[in-house]
Amino acid sequence: MATTVEELYRNYGILADAKEDLSQHKDAYQVILDGVKGGPKEKRLAAQFIPKFFSSFPELADAAINAQLDLCEDEDVSIRRQAIKELPRFAAGENLPRVADILTQLLQTDDSAEFNQVNSALISIFKIDPKGTLGGLFSQILQGEDVVRERAIKFLSTKLKTMAGKLKNTKLLSIFYLLAVVESNEK
């Protein structure tokens, strides 16, 4: 049986009230993860609730990221946008390059609002960890489909041009400027 809106709110309440004792309520978080299998209302709530408690359940990190990714691929564009908006909340530590890689793949969308959401999410994780974000972007530039590669290069050459001054690592700056040269030569 699919998770209902009422169950999602009830389990959200359990987790919100638990404060320091969150890890004792793994089953409540699992109900929230299962919300991705519900209808549109359940999916929208799951897209918001999953990232809120993500850091409290490291043993469910992969399941949580995969659940959020399922929502990023939903047929309903409003659910996809909500899920994409929340993706930066998963971008911590070892998860950041993976989230950057996923967001880079999502650049292939044809929906302009969704595309802008992906750009905003990429910029926000770039501010957290430029090196990890560039790793995810370059992974898709090297191995992704043509449309993803082109959009990743365009993202780097346009959106990040204004942020290059924030890069303190000279190796990253060199890579960034090299990419800008490659982009200008492709035009």
Task: Decide if pLDDT at 172 tops 80.
Answer: no
Least confident of 23-27, 58-62, 72-76, 159-163: 159-163
Instruction: Tell me the average pLDDT across 144-155.
Output: 91
Mean of pLDDT over the chain: 88
Query: For the chain, which residues make up each domain, given as ranges?
Result: 1-90, 92-187
The pair of three-digit structure tokens given for residue 39, joined into one six-digit string:
């209808």
**Residue 184 — pLDDT band, cuts 50, 70, 90?**
low
Q: CA-to-CA distance for 172 and 109, rounded, in angstroms?
A: 27
Instruction: Give the helix ranges, DSSP H, for the chain.
Output: 5-18, 26-34, 40-53, 61-72, 77-86, 96-105, 112-128, 130-143, 146-158, 170-186
**Residue 166 — pLDDT band, cuts 50, 70, 90?**
low
pTM score, two decimals? 0.83
Q: CA-to-CA distance for 187 and 180, rounded, in angstroms?
A: 11
pLDDT at residue number 71: 97
pLDDT at residue number 45: 97
Q: What is the CA radius of gyration of the chain?
A: 18
pLDDT at residue number 156: 84
